[in-house]
């Protein structure tokens, strides 16, 4: 697409407005040179969806329509910039809920067209990975990243930040999805991850021996459907026998099974590959027990360990702006004809 000015280079200050609306957070940020976040505004819809036990796509889309423009205005005001100061606009185009993606992407197209600046389409999963570099720009490579969220569980090897190798993926449910489903089945509400973690604080993680999936081909893939079924069967069996269920022990035991499944595969990969760092990304990276276990294991093998701050673990636009900056430097711009891709892969 044509731009109103010459493209800037790495030596110049580059200001990007980034938008994120893939699920139930409406977010806008202004990033300077990628990793310097001048403003990061997030309007969450969690309370709106809690009574339904999960995100209702149509409701989320309508709320994005209502919130996006005020969120953009607030981000620009906090950054002390105006639309004319922007060098590019970025938006998540997948994966996610198609209605929400379309709201953010369409707004970004309108801004790009009216200001004659480049449009940058960003992969949501890549955003979660790059969130680490906002807080920790000194991360050494090569590295292994475990990205874990409500829709994704991926183990990735990065020689540098321009290429990656997929070491393993979930073969069924994502870790975050398992947290949400079990929390709902236990009556703990939404979102499931924080609810399970809170309930597990007073519980015994060894109280119930739930299964961990073992792959016959010794791959780095994950599986959580069997664990999810085992927990649901346990709850049903206890109810049928008229036995009281200790919610804290149940939550702690389930959480420990998920953490063990994730950390064991991660450690296997760390031992196989010559790396300098490990990073966590995605909403489940906020889980304290997971961080504790991984940190202890990596300390023994002397590998540096990083994870984003809590506000950068959950969906936000700053992480989208971080990715967009590097796409800008590569002139990786999108056509105004680009469409949202709810099933987009890395």
Check whether 148 is labelled as a binding-site residue.
Answer: yes
37 and 154 co-located in one domain: no
Check whether 193 is labelled as a binding-site residue.
Answer: yes
Q: How far is CA 270 from CA 143, 144, 319, in A?
A: 9, 7, 25
For residue range 291-334, what is the model confidence (pLDDT) as tens digits?
A: 999 999 999 999 999 999 988 988 899 999 999 999 999 999 99
Check whether 94 is labelled as a binding-site residue.
Answer: no
Q: In the 8-state DSSP scheme, what is residue 210?
A: -
152 and 102 co-located in one domain: no
For residue range 125-141, what is the model confidence (pLDDT) as tens digits?
A: 999 999 999 989 989 99
262 and 225 co-located in one domain: yes
264 and 156 co-located in one domain: yes
Q: What is the pLDDT of residue 191?
A: 83
Helix (H) or strand (E) segment spanning residue 66? helix 57-79
Counting the structural domains of the chain, the total is: 2
320 and 291 co-located in one domain: no
100 and 246 co-located in one domain: no
Check whether 127 is labelled as a binding-site residue.
Answer: no
Q: What percentage of the chain has pLDDT greater than the value 70?
A: 95
175 and 302 co-located in one domain: yes
CATH number at residue 246: 3.30.420.40
214 and 244 co-located in one domain: yes
Check whether 315 is labelled as a binding-site residue.
Answer: yes
Check whether 197 is labelled as a binding-site residue.
Answer: yes
291 and 153 co-located in one domain: yes
Q: What is the pLDDT of residue 2?
A: 46
- Residue 124 lies inside a defined structural domain of this protein: yes
- Residue 227 lies inside a defined structural domain of this protein: yes
187 and 278 co-located in one domain: yes
Domain containing residue 255: 141-308
Q: DSSP readout, 23-36?
A: SSEEEEEEEETTTE
Check whether 120 is labelled as a binding-site residue.
Answer: no
Check whether 149 is labelled as a binding-site residue.
Answer: yes
116 and 161 co-located in one domain: no
- Residue 173 lies inside a defined structural domain of this protein: yes
Check whether 147 is labelled as a binding-site residue.
Answer: yes
Whether the model clears a pTM of 0.75, i.e. scores above it, the answer is yes
Check whether 287 is labelled as a binding-site residue.
Answer: yes
192 and 214 co-located in one domain: yes
- Residue 283 lies inside a defined structural domain of this protein: yes
């Amino acid at each position: 697409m044509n731009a109103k000015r010459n493209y800037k280079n790495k030596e110049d200050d580059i200001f990007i407005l980034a938008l994120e609306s893939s699920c139930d957070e409406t977010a806008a940020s202004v990033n300077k040179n990628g990793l310097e976040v001048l403003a990061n505004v997030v309007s969450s819809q969690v309370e709106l969806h809690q009574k339904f036990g999960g995100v209702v796509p149509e409701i989320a889309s309508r709320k994005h329509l209502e919130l996006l423009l005020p969120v953009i205005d607030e981000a620009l005001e906090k950054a002390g910039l105006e639309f004319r100061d922007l060098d590019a606009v970025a938006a998540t185009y997948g994966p996610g809920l198609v209605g929400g993606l379309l709201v953010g992407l369409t707004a970004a197209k309108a801004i790009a067209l009216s200001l004659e600046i480049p449009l940058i389409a960003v992969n949501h999963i890549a955003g979660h990975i790059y969130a680490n570099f906002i807080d920790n720009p000194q991360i050494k490579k090569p590295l292994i990243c475990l990205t874990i969220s409500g829709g994704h569980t991926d183990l990735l090897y990065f020689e540098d930040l321009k290429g990656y190798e997929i070491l393993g993926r979930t073969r069924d449910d994502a870790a975050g999805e398992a947290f949400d489903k079990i929390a709902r089945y236990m009556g703990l509400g939404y979102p499931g991850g924080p609810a399970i973690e809170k309930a597990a604080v007073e519980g015994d993680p060894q109280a119930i021996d739930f299964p961990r999936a073992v792959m016959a081909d010794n791959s780095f893939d994950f599986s959580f459907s069997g664990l999810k079924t085992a927990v649901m069967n346990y709850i049903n069996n206890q109810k049928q026998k008229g036995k009281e269920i200790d919610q804290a022990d149940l939550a702690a035991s389930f959480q420990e099974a998920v953490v063990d499944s994730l950390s064991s595969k991660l450690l296997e990969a760390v031992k196989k590959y010559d790396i300098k760092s490990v990073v966590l990304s995605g909403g489940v990276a906020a889980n304290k027990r997971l961080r504790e276990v991984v940190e202890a294991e990596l300390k023994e093998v002397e590998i540096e360990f990083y994870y984003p701050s809590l506000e950068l673990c959950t969906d936000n636009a700053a992480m989208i702006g971080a990715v967009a900056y590097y796409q800008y430097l590569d002139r990786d711009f999108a056509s105004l004809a680009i469409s949202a891709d709810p099933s987009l892969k890395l």
